[in-house]
Structure formats: C-alpha cells, structure tokens
Amino acid sequence: SAVISQKPSRDICQRGTSLTIQCQVDSQVTMMFWYRQQPGQSLTLIATANQGSEATYESGFVIDKFPISRPNLTFSTLTVSNMSPEDSSIYLCSVLKGTDTQYFGPGTRLTVL
Amino acid sequence: GNSVTQMEGPVTLSEEAFLTINCTYTATGYPSLFWYVQYPGEGLQLLLKATKADDKGSNKGFEATYRKETTSFHLEKGSVQVSDSAVYFCALSAKAAGNKLTFGGGTRVLVKP
C-alpha cells in the first residue's frame, strides 16, 4: 500500500481566487493522479501527473484551470484557479502501486463562496 | 469505452443483515476490478480487488468474485455492522486505458442498530 497525505485538508475560499493542493506519498511512485468528487457524486479523473513533463488532462479539464506540477516521484500539486462556487468539491490524489492498484489520499474539501 | 454500473442507493439495513451491492462492467480486454469504501468525511480506501476471472477478493468480511461470463463483481457481506455505514464504489482499471480507474456511481449503505 502507500501512505499519502494532502494539504490542506479543507479550505473555504472566495470566488476568483486560487488554491494549491499538495499531495505527498511515502515512497517513490511512477504514476500519480488527481480526481474531483463533486457533492454526492462519484469520482472524476482530472489528470495524470507526469514527473518531468506536462500533466495529461482528461476531456473537460484544462491546464489553465487546473495546473499541475510533479517535481519528483513523491510529490505533486494541483491548483484550482479562478475559483467559482461550481468548483466546490473534494479533490483527491492517488498513486499507482504495482501494476494496477491505486491508493488514495484523504482528500481536500474545498468550499468556494 | 469502459464503464461501471452499480446499484443506486441508499441501501438501509439492520445490523447483522446480509448485504449485496450489484456491480456490472463493460470493458475491452481483461480489466482488474476493485471495491473502494468511503467512510463519512474521509478519502477512499481500497476494500478488495480481483485481477482475473473467477478470482475472489475478500477483506473485513466482504467478498466479491470476478465473473467474466456475466461481467459482474458483486459485493457481499454476510452480517453487517453499524460501522459498515459508508459509500461503496465499484471500479475497474485496464492497462489499455493507462491504468486509469473508471468508477461506478457509488452506493450509500446505512446500517441501523
């Protein structure tokens, strides 16, 4: 398995501002992912964070809105830019261990006013 | 593309009742199948997994069998406890899709004493 931490655990932000979420894992991993979970919904993949290169975004998500950094094999950040109330969600990072199993962080609960 | 369908909730049970949550999938090739659990206010935890046909995953009294002929991975527990109250997500991962997880919509389970 993997021990994953996220900061902050929750935040309340004003519209138009940006928030950067950090994800730290206790061992080196090749693949890290960022998901969004809107209230009462399932998880939607935002992007795959690639070490040393630009993130790979899913349909409907763009780099200008969700810039991602991955400076090394244990750390990644997701920024939610120019926030609106529709961005209120739980944001989760995950890591791939072995060939097929993802482990998730505790999530960041974001409320945008 | 890949998809996962699971029964909608909420499912309300009494303690010690039998729990079944249905999950079916559509995928090309041979995906790995997972059940994740999300307790109130927390991130996702891996509950169990199965990687090939007829495999049975089990953990904490929960079981699920990979049925390729019916493309199903139903979750069962023989005697639930109040502490099993959570949202359960069925998911699949396929190498051909870059190891991305495809989630079902989630099923909320409420166990009453």
**Contact across the interface for B100 and A106, Cβ inside 8 Å:** no
> Nearest Cβ partner of A100 from B32, B42, B89?
B32
SS3 of B10-58: the string is CEEEECCCCEEECEEEECCCCCEEEEEEECCCCCEEEEEEECCCCCEEE
Please answer whether residues A62 and A79 qualify as being in contact, where contact means their C-beta atoms are separated by less than 8 angstroms. no
What would the pLDDT profile of A11-48 be if each residue is shown by its tens digit?
A: 999 999 999 999 999 999 989 999 999 998 999 999 99
Number of helices and strands (H, E) in chain A? 0, 11
**Contact across the interface for B49 and A45, Cβ inside 8 Å:** no
Mean pLDDT, rounded, for B6-21 = 95
What would the pLDDT profile of A71-101 be if each residue is shown by its tens digit?
A: 999 999 999 999 999 999 999 999 998 888 9
Residue B54: per-residue pLDDT: 95
The type of residue at A5 is: S
Residue B99: per-residue pLDDT: 83
The type of residue at B31 is: P
In B, minimum Cα distance to A5 occurs at B43
Selection from B95, B103, B93 nearest residue B37 by Cα = B103
What would the pLDDT profile of B65-96 be if each residue is shown by its tens digit?
A: 999 999 999 999 999 999 999 999 999 998 87
Distance CA B30, CA B10 (A): 30
In A, minimum Cα distance to B47 occurs at A103
Q: By three-state DSSP, how is residue A75 classified?
A: strand
